[in-house]
Amino acid sequence: MDGDVSTETGSRHDRSPLKHNAVSCEKVTKRFGSELILDEVSFELTKGSFTSLLGPSGCGKTTLLRIIAGLEKADSGDLIMGDPSSKNSDAKPSMAVVFQQGSLFPWKSVRRNVAFGLELAGVDRATIAERVDRTLEMVHLTGTAKKFPYQLSGGMQQRVGIARALALDPDILLMDEPFASVDAQTREELHDELLEIWERTRKSVLFVTHSIDEALVLSDEVVVMGARPGRILRRFAIDLPRPRTEESARILPSFAELHHDIRKLLVRTAVDTFNA
């Protein structure tokens, strides 16, 4: 199952030929009670890559992301932050999480929400102000700094959520279905914005979704998971050209092909799981 992966696609010329890992999971296993949720899950998040975790509901995507974020503990297996093979990067990479909708602190203004991580870290006020402004600009929210989350649309709230994570300038961005509860049109706008942000920052992103389309539009790599127990079925390298937009990605023939392949895999697995 693991053999058919090829992640070096050569579609980006500016990357060093050596592949570095931002995070790697080795045989991560997790149970809730007696139920096996994650069964020896191993995968690497390549440094500077946008990787999506795709799978049916309940397959353990959120659980895996939470383990990586440090919000949950694995029962066994290893989580390796950074690249142990590269000698000069002994510092652990920093991470920030973009949560699903409704995670903004309702009692904090947009500015204070975005400043949250920086305030916790004890960054001085001038730097915070400057960083918050810059980050809000990146997500096209200049001018809403004084508003409160309840005064914003769902799409705007998610932009703030992204800004809150980006403000820390983390090495790794973990995103758990951040666009699941916005309408289709807003979601497409947010995809384009996220692509643009990614082009500018080249963060390592782990993006959880159960939408094949979303995964394909955004990612360099799609890791497909199966359910009961949660495990990795296959990894797909997505070598659609970058810079991308929602539209430019969708019209490519290879988009349709990949979509078909992933769908087939998911359907087949669902049938197998059902029969088992």
Partner 1 sequence: MTKVADDELRTEVVKPASTARTDGRRVRSVTPLKWTVRITAVVVFFIVWQVYASGVSPLLLVPPSAILAAGGHMIASGQLGTDTLLSLEAMVTGFGLALLVSVPLGLIWARYRVVDWVIQPFVMAIFSTPLIALVPLYVLWFGFGFAAKVAIIGSFSFFPLLLNTYQGAVSVDPMYRDVARAFRATDRQTWRHVVLPSCIPYIAAGINISLGHALTGMIIAEFYTNASGLGGLVLNNADTFQTARMFVPIFVVMGLGVLLMSSTRWLKRKIAPWAER
Ligand X SMILES: Nc1ncnc2c1ncn2[C@@H]1O[C@H](COP(=O)(O)OP(=O)(O)OP(=O)(O)O)[C@@H](O)[C@H]1O
Q: Contacting ligand X (CB under 6 A), which of 32, 84, 146, 267? A: 32
Residues paired with residue 118 on neighbouring β-strands, in sequence order = none
Give the CB-nearest residue to Mg ion. Answer: 62
Q: Which of residues 45-74 bind partner 1 (CB under 8 A)?
A: 69-71
121 lines the binding site for partner 1 (CB under 8 A): yes
Q: Which of residues 73-102 bind partner 1 (CB under 8 A)?
A: 96-97, 99, 102
Q: Which does 271 bind (CB under 5 to 8 A by kind): partner 1, ligand X, Mg ion, none?
A: none
* C-alpha span between 251 and 241 (Å, rounded): 12
Q: Pick between residue 37 and residue 249 the one whose CB is nearest to Mg ion.
A: 37
Q: Pick between residue 208 and residue 240 the one whose CB is nearest to partner 1.
A: 208
Question: Which residue is associated with the tokens 């430019």?
Answer: 248
Give the per-residue contact string, 139-168, with partner 1 (x = CB under 8 A; - = no). ---------xxx-----------------x
Nearest to 230 by CA among 70, 94, 21, 61: 61
**What is the size of the binding site for Mg ion (CB under 5 A)?**
1
Burial of 1 (0-12, 13-18, 19+ CB in 10 A): exposed
Q: Which does 60 bind (CB under 5 to 8 A by kind): partner 1, ligand X, Mg ion, none?
A: ligand X
Q: Contacting ligand X (CB under 6 A), which of 6, 58, 142, 143? A: 58
Phi-psi region of 58 (alpha: psi -120 to 50; beta: other; left: phi over 0): left
Shortest Cβ distance from residue 62 to Mg ion (Å)? 3
Q: Contacting Mg ion (CB under 5 A), which of 49, 51, 52, 62? A: 62
- Biggest CA pair distance of the chain: 60
β-strands 76-81, 231-237 pairing = unpaired
Q: Pick between residue 62 and residue 204 the one whose CB is nearest to ligand X.
A: 62
| CA dihedral over 54, 72, 128, 171, signed as positive or negative | negative
Nearest to 208 by CA among 43, 54, 25: 54
Helices first, then strands: H and E counts in the chain: 8, 9
**What is the size of the binding site for partner 1 (CB under 8 A)?**
21
Shortest Cβ distance from residue 36 to ligand X (Å)? 10
What would the DSSP string read from start to end of 138-189? Answer: HTT-TT-TTS-GGGS-HHHHHHHHHHHHHTT--SEEEEESTTTTS-HHHHHH
Applying CB under 8 A, the residues found at the interface with partner 1 are 69-71, 96-97, 99, 102-103, 105-108, 116-117, 119-121, 148-150, 168
Residues that bind Mg ion (CB under 5 A): 62
